[in-house]
A and B are shown apart, each in its own frame.
Chain A
């Protein structure tokens, strides 16, 4: 039996964290910045030095040394914005990776938002914005889509197909796989979306035409999490994890492709350099080459699949994600303050867009980043367990306080805005430039 191929995809994202806004500064038309410039810059530089720059250096070295090695990234738009603000060096290192021709960039929502579950039109516009940005930066058009935090459902797969994507990433959860391997090709159940939704997607889709079919690439969460979460865990039975052992595990599961999806910050930030994570990564392509294991990017995997007719369905009737053990959306919309904040931000959509004011639209979108809602999560917010969720703020309530102030100010600014383009939000999203 031939070995499965290995498909590496890394998520790269940094949110714009909110400043300690005060009620006394909002609604006065003084246009305070909502974001903590200093903190965002400090975090970005710290992660750049510990992860982005050394990891990209290593990846470049590996790509140069191993001609069959390939990887994929999804860089959120707000991450790219922060590169422009705080780290052109980081952006350059990604450009260098892109220049090897063996790095694929996936599409996502520009603002790393939850728009997919709230506002289809806004969702399409943000994906379009992201696709255009990736084209500008790296000269290639993404054909595979990954949603924020791997949020996924049958419906979203159809939306992505109508947007023009041939592949979409999802978490391979046990409760949907029912004992099947995540390493096999899957398709979502085929059905039609409501006509109005189809029309919205058609008007705003990022790619020139809908895809006939779409495949789902499932994250092999056990093997991915062995690296992302357990690598340095001394109480873990697999500790210390060696590249040879990990490769044995990779091939042991069989199937078509082992999809290793993880946050890029795994390398150097979540797992510090002294854990040996870089040496581990450095050893992998060499061992794979020796054993005849190939790597492939998501679009390459899908290309090899699409030749045949697939019928194995991955049936995600409800929304899933890659977060927590629940693999659901409770990290972002599990309590009252999260629901209120989500409700409030998306309710502003038509008003914001009607102003046609680019600054306001951008600010509104920056407030959609999923991290804002994640920081308000109280799932584990009980005694003794308060630091389970990583957050730059003291508490979920502090997160909500800052967020609600920003929203109030944005609302006040909308109140002062003349509605310049009454039908602005009906306009079509700029299409792919005709060659």
Chain B
């Protein structure tokens, strides 16, 4: 009998906003490779080429549960409105205007959808699915793994929405084991959620980027060195720090161009900031890019900067090194734990960040070495290897 994991996810490609969906897919594929049976519950219908049992609410189940959900009122109307206001707009757009409600519906229907299964372990991804996971684990009387891809503290620069923070902490407490995507995240959970460190195992995200096509750039087409930012234009990702770094690079090397790829609520203020810093002629806002466009940008860039204020992992860093681009990473990130051949700078030290960029642009042997050496880690950091670690966590908690 293959080991059966009942997994609760929130994002899944092609419907995903960020790393959560990508990581979920990678992990599921890795687990399948190891012969594990996966049932995945998602809040929306999706197709997958992989042999997974994906379950999602049909119109009928949603209707049924919605009716039910009106019967169990939220706290006060005021608190409810307040809560909705604090959910970032772009999240609300993808997840539906009413995230809290969506979570509630998801939770209610999840037990219903999976009650006839007999899984060996229940595994849930980020706070939206924690209650579903806890209930399912109780129903099936099986151990619970809570996977944490990003905490509320990362998203809000340590000004959390109390309701979300509370649900995260409750999930951590209920779980038999927590998987954190980095030591950085593990430390946050220990320090800010009061969870015992020995309950948390770090499994870094993997990457299947080595199988992706290597973009080629034509050297003669390039006149100016290009420095890239790629990520949601949200506080957490540090786009403003990127611009401040850019201004310092520009002062020293006016020929350098900056590309800011990604979309988000900060776009208008970032454009304003760009003009204020006098960078309007050398900065391009590329908007949201798809995977292929992203790979092209990485390949064109002479240097990729990830100035995140708090980054549980930072898959973009792995994507960049896969395209042989030298990277400069925020020390406040999980990716900086696994990528050895990179510059690592505190996100607030934009001056040093600029200095590193200028050094990479000036010193060809340095750029060459970073390009050649950094991608080696991808050979080791595959989803098959990372899923093997998750597999062994399953075996351990099932046995105990």
Contacts and interface: CB of A to CB of B under 8 A. Distances in A.
B265 interface: no
A378 interface: yes
A337 B326 CA distance: 14
B343 A382 contact: no
B342 interface: yes
Interface string B335-349: 001101111100000
A156 B148 CA distance: 58
B356 interface: yes
B340 A382 contact: yes
Contacts of B73: none
A401 B365 contact: no
B256 interface: no
Interface residues of B, number: 26
A337 B340 contact: no
Given A23-B358, A23-B359, A401-B356, A336 B342 contact: no
A241 B330 CA distance: 45
A405 interface: yes
Interface in A8-57: 20, 22-24
A400 B356 CA distance: 11
A339 B338 CA distance: 25
A404 B367 CA distance: 13
Interface in A350-384: 378, 381-383
Contacts of B356: 401
B380 A397 contact: no
B341 A378 contact: yes
A381 B340 contact: yes
Interface on chain B toward A: helix, strand, loop, or mixed SS? helix
Best-surrounded residue of B359, B363, B377, B380 (most CB of chain A within 10 A): B363
Nearest to B253: A23
B355 A395 contact: no
A46 B110 CA distance: 62
A92 interface: no
Interface on chain A toward B: helix, strand, loop, or mixed SS? helix
Contact of A400 (B252, B352, B366): B366
A383 B380 CA distance: 10
Interface stretch (B120-128, B139-147, B225-233, B368-376): B368-376
Given A383-B380, A401-B359, A335 B340 contact: no
A397 B370 contact: yes
Nearest to B248: A24
A386 B369 contact: no
B211 interface: no
B223 interface: no
21 contacts: A20-B352, A22-B355, A23-B355, A23-B362, A337-B363, A340-B363, A340-B365, A340-B366, A378-B341, A378-B373, A381-B340, A381-B341, A383-B337, A395-B340, A395-B343, A395-B344, A397-B343, A398-B343, A401-B359, A401-B366, A404-B366
Interface of B: 252, 337-338, 340-344, 351-352, 355-356, 358-359, 362-363, 365-366, 368-370, 372-373, 376-377, 380
Interface of A: 20, 22-24, 335-337, 339-340, 378, 381-383, 386, 394-395, 397-398, 400-401, 404-405, 408
Given A382-B376, A408-B362, 9 more contacts: A336-B365, A337-B369, A382-B377, A395-B343, A397-B343, A398-B343, A400-B366, A404-B366, A405-B359
